[in-house]
Amino acid sequence: ATIVTSLSLFIVGSILCALAPSMTILIIARGLQGLGGGGILPIVQTVIADVVTPRERGQYQAYFSGVWMAAGIGGPVLGGVFAEHLHWSMIFWINVPLGLASLAMLLPKMGRIPVFHRRRKVDWLGGVLLMAAAVVVMLVLTWGGNRYSWLSPVIMAMAGVAIALAFAFVWHALRADEPFLPLSLMGGTVVPYAMVCGGCAMGAMLGLTVYLPLYYQGVYHLSASEAGMALIPLAAVSTGGAAIAGRTMARSRHYKRVAIIGTIVAAATAAALASASMPLWLLLVLLSVFALGLGTAFPVSTVSTQNAVARSQVGTITGATNFFRALMASFTVAVFSAVLLTALGPDVSLSGEQHGAVSSIPAADMIAAFRYVFGAAAAMMVVASIAMGLMEERPLAGPAQPVELAVE
């Protein structure tokens, strides 16, 4: 099974990372680890789609959000403890027992998963073209305005290469018998709108998660550890929003309304954050409300895309959704970085090891700069709300009552 292969690659990659004798070997091992780790989430979501009806599936997406939240909060804390008190390789060794435990829980249950075997061709060329275009785009977003100016010959040439690779991928996908990513799946009245909504939500959340510690340190003079703790409301409360949306999808015929209302609330809250300075407790309260509204977008957008395609294409569209969200997150981080560098000046370093220098920036300047960041987050949530409003609300198969009652 593909999920067993992905987990095995992740475990082997983690072991090789922990044993790496040089940086080159570590980079290669990280690539192998990423190859396995990147396949775990979409495959698990696809397995859930195979065994759970669409109407019930939103609640399981909320469980995914809960695991994501726990990892987002506990991972950095545990990594800091390992780095400070133990050997650095422990951040990789910890994956081995977790991966083996996952395999131990998964293997006895594999026989219950429905099997839909059909021999397929692997579109290696399409995969290479898409991945190459994505890598070049990521480099442009990472280096642009940082290592090179946005209008430098290097960035312009890389942007041209990315566009050429993207056109080559589209050209190939339109002619391949079984393309790596069927472009027909990306059209219609559901998938593009759901992907835009989920992508904007993920981008806004991760963009703020990356740069809010700067705000905490520059405006409220929190330490690095305190700034990390202050991110908990943003990460944790979004799980509540996902849970609310999941329960709504299990009960209500008009399930997309909860995501429309949630993203509107998130947009209004982000606009309030951009409008004026405030005490830390109020900022954390508003961030919690923002996260609660934002979290509703994830289960609705994911389940809607899965519900809109044929069963044999659920895995493909789930992988494409996760890829688009990751791309939007990278784009948002780059945009927020450009906004802050423009507002604070190009001499300010936004890298993690330079955060101590942020305390020298006047709080008023930091507040003014982050007004544009919060404003951008508000605009993204407005786009997410509009996209969800335009999305066709197709009926979800499955019982209209909660899962607990259905089991009874």
pLDDT per residue as tens digits for the range 75-108: 666 766 776 677 778 888 888 998 898 888 887 7
Q: Please report which confidence band the pLDDT of residue 407 belongs to, taking 50, 70 and 90 as the band edges.
A: very low
In order of 186, 386, 388, 390, the CA distances from 380 in angstroms are: 21, 10, 12, 15
Question: Is the pLDDT at 66 greater than 80, yes or no?
Answer: no
The model's pLDDT over 337-371, given as tens digits with 9 standing for 90+, comes to 878 877 777 666 665 444 445 666 788 888 999 99
Q: Please report which confidence band the pLDDT of residue 265 belongs to, taking 50, 70 and 90 as the band edges.
A: very high
Q: What are phi and psi of 231, to 5 degrees?
A: -80, -10
Q: What are phi and psi of 148, to 5 degrees?
A: -130, 155
Cβ within 8 Å of residue 59, ≥6 positions away: 243, 246, 247, 249, 250, 299, 403
pLDDT at position 405, please?
35
Task: Between 277 and 386, name the one with better pLDDT.
Answer: 386
Q: Contact 241/296 with Cβ under 8 angstroms? A: yes
Q: What are phi and psi of 308, to 5 degrees?
A: -95, -5
Q: What percent of the chain has pLDDT over 70?
A: 85
Q: Please report which confidence band the pLDDT of residue 196 belongs to, taking 50, 70 and 90 as the band edges.
A: very high
CA 398 – CA 135 distance, rounded (Å): 40
Cα–chain-centroid distance for residue 282?
A: 26
CA 196 – CA 202 distance, rounded (Å): 10
Half-sphere exposure of 30 (CA within 13 A, CB side): 8
CA 196 – CA 328 distance, rounded (Å): 9
Worst-scoring range by mean pLDDT, 106-110, 150-154, 214-218, 242-246? 106-110
The CATH number of 188-394, from 3.10.290.10, 3.20.20.120, 3.90.1280.10, 1.20.1250.20, is 1.20.1250.20
* Crossing angle (nearest 10°) for helices 297-307 and 54-85: 130
Worst-scoring range by mean pLDDT, 145-149, 299-303, 336-340? 145-149
CA 185 – CA 179 distance, rounded (Å): 11
**Mapping DSSP to helix (H, G, I), strand (E, B) and coil, where does residue 297 land?**
helix
Question: Is the pLDDT at 380 greater than 50, yes or no?
Answer: yes
Worst-scoring range by mean pLDDT, 221-230, 346-355, 394-403? 346-355
pLDDT at position 120, please?
65
Q: What are phi and psi of 398, to 5 degrees?
A: 125, 175
pLDDT at position 402, please?
45
Which H or E element spans position 224?
Answer: helix 224-229
Q: Contact 283/366 with Cβ under 8 angstroms? A: no
Q: What percent of the chain has pLDDT over 90?
A: 27
Round the average pLDDT of the chain to a whole number and report it: 82
pLDDT at position 210, please?
85
pLDDT at position 355, please?
47
Token pair for 227:
């700034």
CA 202 – CA 328 distance, rounded (Å): 7
**Mapping DSSP to helix (H, G, I), strand (E, B) and coil, where does residue 314 land?**
helix
Taking the model in full, what pTM does it have? 0.78
Q: What are phi and psi of 351, to 5 degrees?
A: -75, 155
pLDDT at position 261, please?
96
**If we measure between CA atoms, which residue out of 206, 234, 174 comes closest to residue 373?**
206
pLDDT at position 398, please?
64
pLDDT at position 107, please?
79
Worst-scoring range by mean pLDDT, 23-32, 159-168, 225-234, 380-389? 225-234
